[in-house]
A and B are shown apart, each in its own frame.
Chain A
Amino acid sequence: MDFQDKKAIYLQIADYVCERILLAQWPPGDRIPSVRDLGSELEVNPNTVMRTYDFLQQKAILYNKRGIGFFAADDAAERIKSYRKEQFLETEIPYFFRNLYLLNISLEEIEERYKAFIESEFNPNKVV
């Protein structure tokens, strides 16, 4: 795994786990890799992976069956989305706003561009 420079490792591993769940590679009800297996796979200390699993348990994205292992919660996908949204609003938006302010970009311009972006990226009727 290629780790970024800025974010704490246990949070980067949390993103990795969330992605597996969202992509349905680790579906709800299936046991996810053990702390030891994931640690070995990602070449990180198992205690760091344990910290990730604890963190995701607090967010109710994972749950622990004693003696069996960790599982993705039934509503994990919903919870991941709300966790991501919270993270996006807290960490990425301030940076984005700062650039808008510094570069003197109006919200109207952003709105226009946003609409155009959605149109080109997510419009199913678009002819390519």
Chain B
Amino acid sequence: MIELKNLTFGYTPKKLLFQDLNLSLQPGSIYGLLGKNGAGKSSLLRLMGGLLYPTAGSVDVAGFTPRKREPAFFQELYFIPEEIYLPSVSLNRYIDTMGPFYPKFDEGQFRKYLSEFDVPPDQKLTAMSYGQKKKVIISFGLATNTRVLIMDEPTNGLDIPSKSQFRKIVSSALAPDRLMLISTHQVRDLDHLIDGIIIIDENEILLNHSLADIGDRLLFSSLSSVTETHRVLYAEPSLRGYSVVLENTEQEDSKVDLERLFNAVVTNRAGIKNLFQ
């Protein structure tokens, strides 16, 4: 549903951020886009949303070319940026103004999400705290029922109960023809919620696989000592010796630890690349 082909982009022609990037994302999934600060997560999302234009190569989102900014495209995409803006109006006014842009917008659904998030319905939007505003935008975005929903660091500013509520609501809003793409550096907030992982580092996409795939190929375990007999891809000291990522040669089951996965992917690029080819 999202296809990047040989995507090249730079804010200045001399310093390219991405070069010949390829990425293919399917509907029916919640993808997590992980990367360090400044890795280009937001730029990549903005290229998909038609907010930035590629220098070369193509971007296809739900059959549209984002840079053309066709109204039909914007009816099928909702983009929640990291920095949000809400006008100084009431909630009802906001629904009346913004709802009609999205043919599949469902007001009942929107109000249900707001009450699940504990957002008071009778407050002016600008009088709300940052976290409350964020919850309004997230609820609205989910209720637009667009085929593509992009969220840039959506859990920033949410308190602990809201993060849990966020996972419940997002999980229930996934549909077979819908694609959600969430960028974050707080991987724990999205644990178990995402089923596809995209890792981007130093202008490259190092990994794009489902969690099931990753669990098939990698084993997350602990060892008392790291010896050469184990096919260790990554190790970090822990209370029980070492927390490790191993090649999953015996088809064992383990829980994919996103933080350890991320560290393994960015520190052992070659080893990971080999396994996932």
Contact = CB atoms under 8 A, between A and B. Distances in A.
Interface in B20-63: 28-30
Interface residues of B, number: 24
A43 B168 CA distance: 5
Interface string B164-195: 10011101101000000000000000001111
A8 B167 contact: no
A45 B254 contact: no
Given A36-B172, A40-B171, A40-B172, A45 B193 contact: yes
A60 interface: no
B171 A8 contact: no
Contacts of B168: 40-41, 43
A45 B258 CA distance: 15
B253 interface: yes
A114 to B, nearest CB: 28
Interface in B215-236: 215, 220-221
Q: How would you classify the secondary structure of chain A's contact residues: helix, strand, loop or mixed?
A: helix
Contacts of A22: none
B172 A45 contact: no
Contacts of A11: 253
Interface residues of A, number: 23
B195 A45 contact: yes
B253 A45 contact: no
Contacts of B220: 6
Most B-side CB within 10 Å, residue of A11, A44, A47, A48: A47
Interface string B141-181: 00000000000000000000000100111011010000000
Nearest to A49: B171
Contacts of B195: 45, 47-48
Contacts of B89: none
Contacts of A45: 30, 171, 174, 192-195
List the 9 shortest-distance A-B pairs measured between CB atoms, nearest first: A43-B167, A40-B172, A44-B192, A8-B253, A45-B195, A39-B171, A47-B195, A40-B171, A40-B168
14 contacts: A5-B255, A7-B254, A7-B255, A9-B255, A42-B192, A43-B171, A44-B171, A44-B192, A44-B193, A45-B30, A45-B194, A48-B192, A48-B195, A51-B212
